[in-house]
């Protein structure tokens, strides 16, 4: 072989030997460091397991100073303490992290957010509020900080501030907050009305409608305020709008609405509105109200006939009680009524669990020695009470 | 082990010195900006040392880059904790 070629081969050999020796030295160095870290970790863990959390924190904090990679672990440790209710320890961990000079901006804001949550958990709401407000001002972790600020304002019932923060959250995160904002205005309206500021209350209701058009709570409040002001016509109008806005609140709206109808002597309109609700609403409340109107106007036979017809379609315990009351008041065909009551009771019992797992709460019609849900043995026991075995 | 490594290093140093002494004649180089006359053996040894250093530097940079990548992955939650 040409000796000159051998000389040229010396260059890659030198490069490779340099590469290999540097790599080897690096591996040895990191192994030494890892040994140090793991011994510190095990010492900390040992303290934790021996119920010496203060010493464990000291050990873990020393570790955090030595290695930036363990910062996330410390955030997690702080969260763990907070979840366990050891808020003072969580605060110590997070405060220590924030005090570190070489902490990156992202980790610092995260630690500040966690510290704010610690303060909230400890009931130090003013401190938490200051911290979160600073974070919002710095525009760091703003959505989370705003959510916490809203929670604090709700706790302190400071609805004006809550509205401001909710609007800011809507701007920064794009999440719709109209429902919350409308509720906050309703709270303000209730407070103003309680203090006799009727005009202010009405203004807040207007703001609630502006935040969320057709908001059911605002309609209900407007109806209540009108009824309190002895204006049954306005109350009826507001409550009917509330029913149109959300039919799920029928049980909440109906008593006040029926009262307003009675005061305005508009029972014909009441019957008409209830008839339309019965057709659209699956619950039993409008049926019971309509049956009461029938009983008063046409007598018990008509009411029992209507009630029994409706209860066959929508069996209900409250309906049964009213049916029994109406039957007792009006007597009538006892055997037919008893047969009807028997059928309704059977329909109510249908689908009710006779056995329930004492471990996971699973309900079953038939007995199983092993629970089909949690697989525990002999945990299914008979249900006692009104619908029990 | 250390004695063996020291002996090998000494042997290579002696070989290098002998090589430099045997190839004392100078060679003309043209680096565009400068045209020096340098001793043959010393130049060869210098180039070998430079290659060794470059190898070490590339290994060190490779380790640093992989460490930074691992840290980023952990922060994004894609890698092992």
Which tokens in the block code for residue A202? 């009405």
Residue A25 lies in a domain: no
- A10/B59 Cβ within 8 A: no
| Closest CB from A7, A10, A22 relative to B55 | A22
Residue B81 lies in a domain: no
State how many domains chain B has: 1
> What pLDDT does B20 receive?
80
> What pLDDT does A362 receive?
92
Q: Which domain holds residue A367?
A: 352-389
Q: Which domain holds residue B53?
A: 2-76
CA dist., res. A364 & res. A166, Å (int): 45
State how many domains chain A has: 1
Quick one: which of A60, A57, A80 has its CA closest to A71?
A60
CA dist., res. A352 & res. A364, Å (int): 8
Residue A207 lies in a domain: no
> What pLDDT does B77 receive?
53
Which tokens in the block code for residue B20? 């430099």
- Interface TM-score (ipTM) > 0.85: no
The rounded mean pLDDT for chain B is: 80
Residue A279 lies in a domain: no
Label residue B80 by pLDDT band (50, 70, 90).
very low
Please check whether residue B19 is in contact with residue B45, taking contact to mean a CB–CB distance below 8 angstroms. yes
Q: Looking at the predicted structure, is the pLDDT value of residue B11 above 70?
A: yes
- DSSP code, position A141: S
Which positions in chain A touch B80 (Cβ < 8 Å)? none
Residue A366 lies in a domain: yes
CA dist., res. A154 & res. A158, Å (int): 6
| Closest CB from A17, A26, A73 relative to B52 | A17
**Strand, helix or coil at A353?**
coil
B28-76: pLDDT as tens digits: 888 888 888 888 888 888 888 888 899 889 988 888 888 777 767 766 6
In terms of CA atoms, which chain B residue is nearest residue A14? B52
Please check whether residue B52 is in contact with residue A15, taking contact to mean a CB–CB distance below 8 angstroms. yes
| Closest CB from A7, A10, A14 relative to B55 | A14
> What pLDDT does A186 receive?
93
- DSSP code, position A357: E
CA–CA distances in Å: residue B15 to residues A144, A285, B18, B19, B41: 69, 106, 5, 6, 11
CA–CA distances in Å: residue A37 to residues A118, B10, B81: 28, 38, 15
Let me know the angle formed at the C-alpha of A362 by A356 and A368, rounded to the nearest 5 degrees.
65
Quick one: which of B60, B46, B77, B15 has its CA closest to A18?
B60
- CA dihedral A143→A145→A147→A149, nearest 10 degrees, is -140
| Closest CB from B47, B55, B75 relative to A18 | B55
- DSSP code, position A95: H
> What pLDDT does B81 receive?
37
CA dist., res. A260 & res. A220, Å (int): 13
CA dist., res. A36 & res. A10, Å (int): 40
For residue A122, list its beta bridge partners: none
Which positions in chain B touch A22 (Cβ < 8 Å)? 55-57, 59-60
> What pLDDT does A314 receive?
78
Helices A178-194 & A198-211, crossing angle to 10 degrees?
170
CA dist., res. A39 & res. B55, Å (int): 33
Which positions in chain B touch A21 (Cβ < 8 Å)? 56
Residue B41 lies in a domain: yes
Q: How many percent of chain A have pLDDT more than 70? A: 91
Residue B61 lies in a domain: yes
CA dist., res. B70 & res. A245, Å (int): 54
Which positions in chain B touch A18 (Cβ < 8 Å)? 51-57, 59
Q: How far is CA A190 from the centre of its chain?
A: 23
- A14/B52 Cβ within 8 A: yes
Residue A345 lies in a domain: no
Residues of chain A with pLDDT under 70: 1-4, 30-38, 61-70, 330-333, 385-389
């Amino acid at each position: 072989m040409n000796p000159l070629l051998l000389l040229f081969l010396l260059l890659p050999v030198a490069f490779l030997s340099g590469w290999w020796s540097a790599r080897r030295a690096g591996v040895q160095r990191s192994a030494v460091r890892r040994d140090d870290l793991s011994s510190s970790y095990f010492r900390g863990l040992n303290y934790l397991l021996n119920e010496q959390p203060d010493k464990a924190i000291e050990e873990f904090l020393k570790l955090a100073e030595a290695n930036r990679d363990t910062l996330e672990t410390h955030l997690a440790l702080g969260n763990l303490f907070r979840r366990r209710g050891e808020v003072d320890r969580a605060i110590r961990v997070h405060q220590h992290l924030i005090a570190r000079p070489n902490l990156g901006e992202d980790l610092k804001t995260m630690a500040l957010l966690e510290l704010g949550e610690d303060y909230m958990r400890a009931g130090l709401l003013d401190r938490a509020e200051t911290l979160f407000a600073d974070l919002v001002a710095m525009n760091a972790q703003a959505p989370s900080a705003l959510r916490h600020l809203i929670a604090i304002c709700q706790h302190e019932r400071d609805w004006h501030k809550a509205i401001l923060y909710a609007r800011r959250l809507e701007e920064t995160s794009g999440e719709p907050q109209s429902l919350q904002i409308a509720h906050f205005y309703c709270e303000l309206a209730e407070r103003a009305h309680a203090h006799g500021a009727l005009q202010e209350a009405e203004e807040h209701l207007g703001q609630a409608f502006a935040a969320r058009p057709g908001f059911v709570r605002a309609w209900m409040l407007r109806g209540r305020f009108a009824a309190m002001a002895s204006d049954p016509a306005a109350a009826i109008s507001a409550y009917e709008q509330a029913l149109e806005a959300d039919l799920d609140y029928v049980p909440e709206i109906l008593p006040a609405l029926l009262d307003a109808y009675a005061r305005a002597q508009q029972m014909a309109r009441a019957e008409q509105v209830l008839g339309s609700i019965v057709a659209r609403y699956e619950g039993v409340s409008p049926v019971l109200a309509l049956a009461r109107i029938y009983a008063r106007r046409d007598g018990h036979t008509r009411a029992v006939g209507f009630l029994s017809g409706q209860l066959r379609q929508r069996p209900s315990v409250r309906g049964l009680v009213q049916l029994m009351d109406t039957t007792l008041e009006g007597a009538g065909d006892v055997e037919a009524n008893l047969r009807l009551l028997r059928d309704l009771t059977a329909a109510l019992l249908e689908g009710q669990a006779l056995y329930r797992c004492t471990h996971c709460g699973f309900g079953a019609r038939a007995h199983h020695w092993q629970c089909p849900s949690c697989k525990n043995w002999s945990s299914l026991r008979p249900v006692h009470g009104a619908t029990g075995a | 082990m250390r004695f063996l490594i020291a002996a090998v290093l000494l042997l290579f140093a002696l070989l290098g010195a002998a090589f430099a002494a045997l190839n004392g004649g100078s060679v003309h180089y043209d680096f565009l900006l400068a045209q020096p006359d340098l001793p043959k053996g010393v130049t060869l040894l210098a180039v070998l040392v430079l290659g060794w250093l470059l190898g070490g530097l590339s290994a060190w940079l490779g380790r640093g880059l992989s460490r930074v990548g691992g840290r980023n992955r952990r922060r994004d939650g894609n890698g092992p904790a």
